Amino acid sequence: MAATRSANPVAKAWRRIPGAWRQPLTIVGFVLVATWLLVALLAPWIAPYDPLAQSAALFQPPSAAHLLGTDELGRDVFTRLLWGARISIPLAMMLVVLAFTIGGTLGGLAGYLGGWIDELVMRGADFVFAVPTILLAMAVVAALGPGLFHAVLAVVLVSWPGHARVVRGLVRSTMQSEYVAVGRLLGSPAYRALAVDVLPNVAGPVIVLAALEMGNAILLLSALSFLGLGARPPAAEWGSMVSTGAEHFEAWWIGVFPGFAIVSIVLAFNFLGDSLRDAFDPKAIIKARGA
Amino acid sequence: MTTLLSVEDLRVWLDTASGPLSIVDAISFEIGVGQVFGLAGESGSGKTITALALLGLLPPGARASGAAILDGRDLLTMRAAQRRRTRGREIAMVFQDPMSSLHPMLTIERQLTEHMRYQLGMSGAEARRRAVELLTDVRIPDPEAAMRAYPHQFSGGMRQRIQIAISLACDPRLLVADEPTTALDVTVQAGILHLLHRLCREKDLAVMLITHDLGVLSALADTVTVMYAGRIVESGPTIQVMGRPRHPYTRGLVDSLPHPEAKDRVLVPIAGDPASPESRPAGCAFHPRCRYVEPACSTDVPVLIQVDDGRGMACPVDPLVAGLKR
Amino acid sequence: MSLLELRDVEVIYQRRDGAPVPAVAGASLDVEAGEIVGLVGETGCGKTSLARAAVGLVPIASGTVAFEGRPVHVLSRRARPARERRLQLVFQNPYESINPRRTVGAQVADAFAIGRTVPRSKWRQGVDDLLQRVGLPASISRRFPHQLSGGQRQRIAIARALAADPSMIVLDEPLSALDASVQAQVANLLVELARDLQVGMLLISHDLAIVRHVAHRTAVMYLGLVVETAPTAELWKAPKHPYTKALIASIPHADGAGHLPAALSGEIPDPARPPAGCRFHPRCSRVMDKCRTEAPQLVAKEAGRAVACWLYEELMVHDQVGGREARS
């Protein structure tokens, strides 16, 4: 019993997307992330006001003039929300790239060379894991002095071990696999095995981890700013906006909307990361290629 | 032969996103009291799933229909509590890999007695005594010491004997053995075959012997039922099915085995790969690999027909069957 | 000089609790070009360790491994010496010995890429030729391993080894992970390859029936030692070593006649604590006093047969048989 396929062009385009990517959560993740990326890009043009412009209209609740109200200095919350994306997202990206470059390299060396390098890297990672993340990050910022740049450094410091451990595990298990042994017997030096066999195995999980870590990074950065250790005023950063909101509970719109923004973007990256994980399964690669 | 288990029209299917996937397709058979019933087939044949269906151990998502009557009760429609009583008490199962079916962190004593105390309500001392008896029965050297030991301290053959001992603890009428010797060395396998043979005779125990190894079937089974892609293709007394196989698949299996007197070094394999549930061909599932294929084979599913005494065959191409139909 | 010569090879593993386990305790074996030698034995006999030592995957504690007359190097981080690439190994499990994330065609072409003997423009053709040789269609080269069946995967593994233009292939249980109806196909392929390409093969297997059908000569291992070697047909017709006899007698015949195979008493001992004297003596039906204290050596008998058993040594001393004194 054949169902009649609709000739609707949207439906047709939809069906051409490979099965692995057509899951509801994947779509939600993609759409949300894309939206926020666009917002970050276009904020200067779509924001109604200047994020730093103070006015006399303090603590105004959401209205037609100010969609999400105004804060304690009369600045438009909606504008600052949009501009906040321009801080959080690029910083988080830079942060994640740094973390997986440093962590991935260290972990890869540890897995490939073994011996004392392995010991050193893993004990370093263990040390970082042993201390509660937020405390360690706070300690680093306290030592270096407050500021967004130092906050980024702190988060990189607490994030690299996660990447290192994943990469080390993958490198080790791949190098010990039978197919690498086959390659070695065919005459390949060990470093070729790295490029040909290890990298494809490592690439997928690392990308998934990076996507998930974006969410984590934004959360940590916001947390540090919330504690006053990250962004300095008057920067329109979500974490510090939430902090201000906590001081002025009656003007709930000051803290709640930035809070929602943080939640939505972290969720978006988590959905994206989960769907990437499913999509990187070799079986799904076949569906994606339509072979 | 008094019938112990009567299976009628057993179907097992998997509920998948793209509809029901048939794994076992309407099979029927009988196992007599004290009979060794051989169930032969390769991967994808559905033989293990058949056993799991009888024991109520189907994986999630799998459903069964039909009837499996043991002593007047239908195994497939039992309530959970009754099934728990039946499993272990009347039917027991022995698996292929004794390392994963024995609990690695419990002593042998615990694994034997716990089972007996639950099913038979024995006291600790009684269960202990019976456990030592069972270990002696399966020829474990120094049963007392064995009771205190853990599974990893035993070899594969010994662990299999222990597994058999556990399965016999409550004196079941039917033992389902799924590839019981496949993971064992051939000399160890010989020992287990002797053990099973003796236990069958002594305890009037019926055995459902599931294996792809034709040698094992030949040594132990009274009857052999051959499955391919979820259906029965041939059945009958072992001496007949294996000595003079009729169905093209059975013939192919026997022919692909190394012969004692082969001059030429070429084995006669069956072309192609075994059918899996996802890729079951239409009509006769074996037809793409069959030497005797005819046009009708790709559309008509062959029916299992009784030919001469006790033999069943599902292949219309066989001249004897064709003759009967006319 | 044989293509592959193993002499008194010892392979020792370190167990986690420190006790060294001699997986192979002094085994000797030869393989010639175009010949298939089957190496059979049960758990703990050391055949897999011997196979890996033969290609240099694991180091040997003593003894020699010679390929084409020169010693085989143990694999280190550096590339294997070019001439040793003609000595290849096919693993047992075709699900693990092929990288799931690369196409099978790319993996078959690895030997071309590494060896640099074939120009890149010829790779595609080379891969297609190899696939054809192992009985697979050329179109399969674009597929990923999980799209292939076990039998197809094992053929890919064989093609991959063939791409290195080997003169000798060691195969570690190449058929065990395959279905019965597929084993025959791959077994036939091996026979063809040995014959057509004059490649020597050392076929490790626990399945005596298949080895019987495929191997020209068979060697039997027990607890780390080779106890008997002979042309296959003769080994089956007239086995000499009591263990070989017991092994053969324990195979059930698939004739439907209901005969139980003979069982061998006792268990395989722990390789770390082998019995004194002849390692098989506790389970031997013909054991003599000498067997309990002195270990027999593998001694050559008539035409290509060798056995390590005191039953035959006594005869030899009396009969003064000439023949090679050298172990084989």
Please name which of C99, C214, C205 lies closest in space to residue A186, comparing C-alpha atoms.
Answer: C99
Query: Could you tell me what percent of chain B has a pLDDT over 90?
Result: 38
Is residue B38's pLDDT more than 80?
yes
* Residue of C75, C90, C101 to mutate for A, most A C-beta atoms under 10 A: C101
Q: Give the SS3 label for residue B296.
A: helix
Please name which of C191, C182, C227 lies closest in space to residue C212, comparing C-alpha atoms.
Answer: C191
Q: What is the ipTM of this complex?
A: 0.83
Give residue C256's pLDDT band: very low, low, confident or very high (50, 70, 90).
Answer: confident
A57 part of a folded domain = no
Q: Å from C258 to nearest chain B CA?
A: 4
Decide: B102 and B154 in contact? Cβ < 8 Å.
Answer: no
Q: Is the peptide bond before A234 cis (omega within 30 degrees of 0)?
A: yes
Give residue C313's pLDDT band: very low, low, confident or very high (50, 70, 90).
Answer: confident
CB < 8 Å to B267, chain C: 184, 187-188, 213
Q: Would you state the structure tokens that stand for residue A68, as one six-digit string?
A: 């999400």
User: How many Cβ atoms are within 10 Å of C61's Cβ, its own excluded?
Assistant: 17
Is residue C177's pLDDT more than 50?
yes
**Residues forming beta bridges with residue C67, ordered by sequence position:** C4, C70
Domain span including residue A126: 90-281
**Residues forming beta bridges with residue A112, ordered by sequence position:** none
**Strand B3-16 relative to strand C225-231, pairing:** unpaired
Decide: C11 and C58 in contact? Cβ < 8 Å.
Answer: yes
Locate the DSSP E strands across B172-289.
Answer: 174-178, 206-211, 223-228, 231-237
Q: Å from C56 to nearest chain A CA?
A: 9
pLDDT value of residue C39: 96
Please name which of C69, C40, C38, C74 lies closest in space to residue C54, comparing C-alpha atoms.
Answer: C74
Interface list for B 165-184 with C (CB within 8 A): none
Angle, helices A133-144/A199-226, rounded to nearest 10 degrees:
70
Is residue B173's pLDDT more than 80?
yes
Q: How far is CA C213 from the centre of its chain?
A: 15
Q: In Å, how far are B24, B26, B282 from B44, measured between CA atoms?
A: 10, 15, 16
Is residue B296's pLDDT more than 90?
no
For residue A86, give the amino acid letter.
Answer: R
Q: What average pLDDT does this structure show over B214-235?
A: 92
B62-99 pLDDT tens trace: 999 999 999 888 988 888 888 888 887 889 999 888 77
Contacts with C100 (C-beta within 8 Å, 6 or more apart), sequence order: A282, C144, C145, C146
User: How many Cβ atoms are within 10 Å of B108's Cβ, its own excluded?
Assistant: 27
Tell me the CATH number at A124: 1.10.3720.10
Q: Which of C98, C114, C143 sits opposite A186 (nearest CB)?
A: C114
* b/e per residue A150-189 (b: at least 16 CB within 10 A): bbbbbbbbbbbbbbbbbbbebbbebbebbbbbbbbbbbbe
What span, in angstroms and rounded, lies between the C-alpha atoms of A63 and B297?
76
What span, in angstroms and rounded, lies between the C-alpha atoms of C242 and C284?
7
Degrees to nearest 5, angle at CA A106 with A104 and C76: 105
Tokens 């197809």 appear where?
A: C152
What span, in angstroms and rounded, lies between the C-alpha atoms of B219 and B230?
25
- The answer to whether B2 contacts chain C (CB < 8 Å) is no
List of chains touching A (3+ CB pairs within 8 A):
C
What does pLDDT average to over chain B? 86
Kindly write down the DSSP assignment for every residue of A231-265, as one continuous string: SPTTS--HHHHHHHHHH-TTSTHHHHHHHHHHHHH
Kindly write down the DSSP assignment for every residue of B1-25, as one continuous string: --EEEEEEEEEEEEEETTEEEEEEE
What is the 3-state composition of chain B as percent helix, strand, coil, each rounded to the nearest 5? 40, 25, 35
A110 part of a folded domain = yes
Q: Which of B259-273, C161-175, C281-295 has the lowest mean pLDDT?
A: B259-273
Decide: B247 and B227 in contact? Cβ < 8 Å.
Answer: no
A104-115 pLDDT tens trace: 999 999 998 888
Q: What average pLDDT does this structure show over C302-312?
A: 88
Locate the DSSP E strands across C190-291.
Answer: 200-205, 217-222, 225-231
CB < 8 Å to C164, chain A: 186-187
pLDDT value of residue C317: 47
* Residue of C181, C260, C264 to mutate for B, most B C-beta atoms under 10 A: C181
Decide: A269 and A33 in contact? Cβ < 8 Å.
Answer: yes
pLDDT value of residue B122: 85
Give residue C179's pLDDT band: very low, low, confident or very high (50, 70, 90).
Answer: confident
Under an 8 A CB cutoff, do C75 and A184 touch? yes
- What sections of A17-114 are H helices per DSSP? 24-46, 77-113
Give residue C327's pLDDT band: very low, low, confident or very high (50, 70, 90).
Answer: very low
Q: What average pLDDT does this structure show over B125-135?
A: 91
| Torsion region of B325: left, alpha or beta (phi above 0 gives left; psi -120 to 50 gives alpha) | alpha
Contacts with B177 (C-beta within 8 Å, 6 or more apart), sequence order: B93, B94, B196, B207, B208, B209, B210
What span, in angstroms and rounded, lies between the C-alpha atoms of C87 and C31?
12
Is residue C320's pLDDT more than 80?
no
Domains along chain C with CATH numbers: 4-215 (3.40.50.300)
pLDDT value of residue B266: 66
Please name which of C236, C233, C220 lies closest in space to residue C306, comparing C-alpha atoms.
Answer: C220
C104-144 pLDDT tens trace: 999 999 999 988 888 889 999 999 999 999 999 999 999 99
What span, in angstroms and rounded, lies between the C-alpha atoms of A177 and A180?
6
How many structural domains are present in chain A? Answer: 1
Q: Is C43 exposed, middle or buried (0-12, 13-18, 19+ CB in 10 A)?
A: middle
Report the chain B residue with the minimal C-alpha distance to residue C185. Answer: B269
Degrees to nearest 5, angle at CA A230 with A43 and A62: 45
Q: Which of B94-98, C294-298, C312-316 has the lowest mean pLDDT?
A: C312-316
Please name which of A33, A42, A32 lies closest in space to residue A82, comparing C-alpha atoms.
Answer: A42
Q: What average pLDDT does this structure show over C31-54?
A: 92
pLDDT value of residue C197: 93
Decide: B172 and C241 in contact? Cβ < 8 Å.
Answer: no
For residue C281, give the amino acid letter.
Answer: H
A211 part of a folded domain = yes
Contacts with B22 (C-beta within 8 Å, 6 or more apart), sequence order: B11, B12, B13, B230, B277, B280
Residues of chain A scoring pLDDT < 70: 1-7, 13-21, 281-291
pLDDT value of residue A103: 93
What span, in angstroms and rounded, lies between the C-alpha atoms of B16 and C9?
54
* b/e per residue B284-313 (b: at least 16 CB within 10 A): bbbbbbbeebeeebeeeebebbebeeebbb
pLDDT value of residue B325: 45
Q: Which of C55, C79, C91 sits opposite A188 (nearest CB)?
A: C79
Q: In Å, how far are A36, A45, A79, B198, C273 from A261, measured between CA atoms?
A: 9, 19, 13, 73, 68
Give residue C321's pLDDT band: very low, low, confident or very high (50, 70, 90).
Answer: very low
- The answer to whether C134 contacts chain A (CB < 8 Å) is no
* Residue pairs spanning B and C at CB distance below 8 A: 136
Q: Would you state the structure tokens that stand for residue B48, as one six-digit string?
A: 């293990």
Report the chain B residue with the minimal C-alpha distance to residue C215. Answer: B265
Angle, helices A199-226/A148-175, rounded to nearest 10 degrees:
160
Please name which of C154, C144, B201, C78 lies closest in space to residue A187, comparing C-alpha atoms.
Answer: C78
Can you say whether the dihedral through the CA atoms of B216, B218, B223, B224 is positive or negative? positive
Decide: B87 and B55 in contact? Cβ < 8 Å.
Answer: yes
Domains along chain B with CATH numbers: 3-90+172-271 (3.40.50.300), 100-168 (no CATH)
Is residue C87's pLDDT more than 60?
yes
Residues recorded for chain A: 291
What span, in angstroms and rounded, lies between the C-alpha atoms of C94 and C115?
23
- The answer to whether A196 contacts chain C (CB < 8 Å) is yes
pLDDT higher at C224 or C19: C224
